[in-house]
């Protein structure tokens, strides 16, 4: 395992530049690329800095902190690691390294269905870590309800504390960069949790090769809630009407996400969707937002727009590629340090003071 950081990594952008050089080009295309012309991928990252802060001065700052409450717990800060697949593409330690880094930094961690490491291995590595954040399992809906329920039960039995159902990918996006690079998983690397998954039964017609016929529906969400005691979050909600419907079902929370720009190109940026989703649900649901978070100021703006916490995906991949668990921990620490400085410089002693009034537009 890497024991020191490479020199010159002072920002998340530094991590990105180094990871781009360090990784196999095809694997980099898979991790870094988006759908279509990558307009949404860019829009996510451009929307946060386009929002401008309106700082207050001479505010009382003694006793300031970054603590937040999420899912019934007090967390040291509002940063979680988003689920992303096949992490051994970036480092041999894969998801275990990322989970350990998150635990060491008090960050929440969401393990992907398409993990290259079994969920039980990850849980054993981090559940005993003091000060760790929440440990959640992301569920990609499979065509067989029984298989989904069995996977959810595996996660519960291993100690995972919530399910995160991805709802914005009934089919894969048109990922041109990935296809041009000819990306294929290396021999011996696969999805640890999908071995033995039943094949989807044939669907009539040729619409997207029949895949949407087996995509999850609102009825499936209600069914899953009734079958598992784990709190259920929905990841990939952008539209206020969908947010209201989710709230009516009583889900545990929503993750405002466009899949990092990897599914539908020209979909709305998450910074734009977030305040509309918050307005739709009021204070009824906790919201987490991902997509383009690259600076501590982005985290502060997300909280001001109504998020309870944020998730980062690609930056964790960069850190993992650069220095394994240490690199991921460094990415989290950079964001948290920058968040603290942004809070102090805008007059916020705690994140409860980060309201829409903090933004000029």
**Pairing of β 68-70 and β 73-75:** antiparallel
Which two tokens mark 154? 């595996």
Give the total number of structural domains in the chain: 1
Which residues form the domain of 348? 26-181+211-358
86 carries an active-site annotation: no
In a domain, 186, yes or no: no
Going by C-alpha positions, the residue among 61, 107, 133, 52 that lies closest to residue 304 is: 52
In a domain, 80, yes or no: yes
In a domain, 327, yes or no: yes
DSSP one-letter string for 268-308: PPHHHHHHHHHHHHTTSS-EEE-SS--SHHHHHHHHHTT-S
- The SS3 assignment for 335 reads helix
In a domain, 205, yes or no: no
In a domain, 300, yes or no: yes
What pLDDT, on a 0 to 100 scale, did the predictor assign at position 208?
64
Bridge partners of 164, per DSSP, are 138, 233
What gap in Å lies between CA 197 and CA 343, rounded to an integer?
47
Instruction: Give the CATH number, domain containing residue 95.
Output: 3.20.20.70
Going by C-alpha positions, the residue among 252, 284, 97 that lies closest to residue 165 is: 252
Catalytic residue among 77, 86, 193, 259: 259
In a domain, 1, yes or no: no
What pLDDT, on a 0 to 100 scale, did the predictor assign at position 192?
87
Residues 6+ apart with CB under 8 A from 132: 102, 103, 106, 109, 126
What pLDDT, on a 0 to 100 scale, did the predictor assign at position 173?
87
Which two tokens mark 16? 């990105």
User: pLDDT tier at 1 (50, 70, 90 boundaries)?
Assistant: very low
What gap in Å lies between CA 285 and CA 308, rounded to an integer?
9
pLDDT, one tens digit per residue, over 21-68 is 999 999 999 999 999 999 999 999 999 999 999 999 999 999 999 999
pLDDT, one tens digit per residue, over 105-138 is 999 999 999 999 999 999 999 999 999 999 999 9
8 Å CB contact between 45 and 292: yes
CA dist 302 → 204, 309, 347 (Å) = 43, 8, 16
pLDDT at 291 over 50: yes
Mean pLDDT of the chain: 94
pLDDT, one tens digit per residue, over 144-179 is 999 999 999 999 999 999 999 999 988 888 999 999
The secondary structure of residue 108, as a DSSP letter, is E
In a domain, 204, yes or no: no
What pLDDT, on a 0 to 100 scale, did the predictor assign at position 206?
64
In a domain, 74, yes or no: yes
């Amino acid at each position: 395992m890497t024991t020191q950081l490479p020199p010159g990594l002072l920002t998340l952008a530094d991590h990105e530049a180094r990871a781009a050089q360090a990784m196999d080009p095809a694997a980099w295309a898979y991790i870094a690329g988006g759908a279509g012309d990558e307009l949404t991928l860019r829009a996510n990252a451009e929307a946060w800095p386009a929002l401008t802060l309106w700082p207050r001065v001479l505010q009382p700052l003694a006793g300031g902190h970054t603590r937040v409450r999420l899912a019934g717990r007090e967390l040291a800060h509002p940063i979680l690691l988003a689920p992303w697949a096949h992490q051994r593409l970036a480092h041999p330690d894969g998801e275990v390294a990322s989970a350990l880094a998150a635990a060491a930094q008090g960050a929440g961690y969401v393990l992907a269905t398409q993990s290259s490491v079994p969920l039980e291995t990850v849980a054993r590595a981090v559940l005993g870590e003091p000060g760790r954040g929440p440990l959640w399992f992301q569920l990609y809906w499979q065509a067989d309800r029984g298989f989904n329920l069995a996977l959810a039960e595996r996660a519960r039995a291993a100690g995972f504390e919530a399910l995160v159902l991805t709802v914005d990918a009934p089919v894969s996006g048109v990922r041109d960069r990935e296809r041009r690079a000819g990306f294929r998983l290396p021999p011996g690397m696969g999805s640890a949790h999908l071995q033995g998954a039943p094949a989807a039964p044939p669907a009539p017609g040729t619409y997207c090769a029949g895949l949407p016929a087996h995509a999850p529906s609102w009825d499936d969400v209600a069914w899953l809630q009734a079958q598992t005691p784990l709190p259920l979050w929905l990841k990939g909600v952008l539209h206020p009407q969908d947010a209201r419907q989710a709230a009516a079902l009583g889900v545990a929370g929503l993750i405002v996400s466009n899949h990092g720009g990897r599914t539908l190109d020209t979909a709305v940026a998450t910074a734009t969707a977030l305040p509309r989703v918050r307005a739709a649900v009021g204070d009824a649901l906790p919201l987490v937002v991902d997509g383009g978070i690259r600076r501590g100021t982005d985290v502060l703006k997300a909280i001001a727009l109504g998020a309870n916490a944020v998730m980062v995906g690609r930056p964790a991949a960069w850190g993992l590629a650069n220095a394994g668990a240490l690199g991921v921990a460094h990415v989290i620490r950079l964001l948290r340090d920058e968040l603290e400085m942004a809070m102090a410089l805008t007059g916020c002693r705690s994140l409860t003071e980060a309201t829409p009034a903090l933004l000029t537009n």
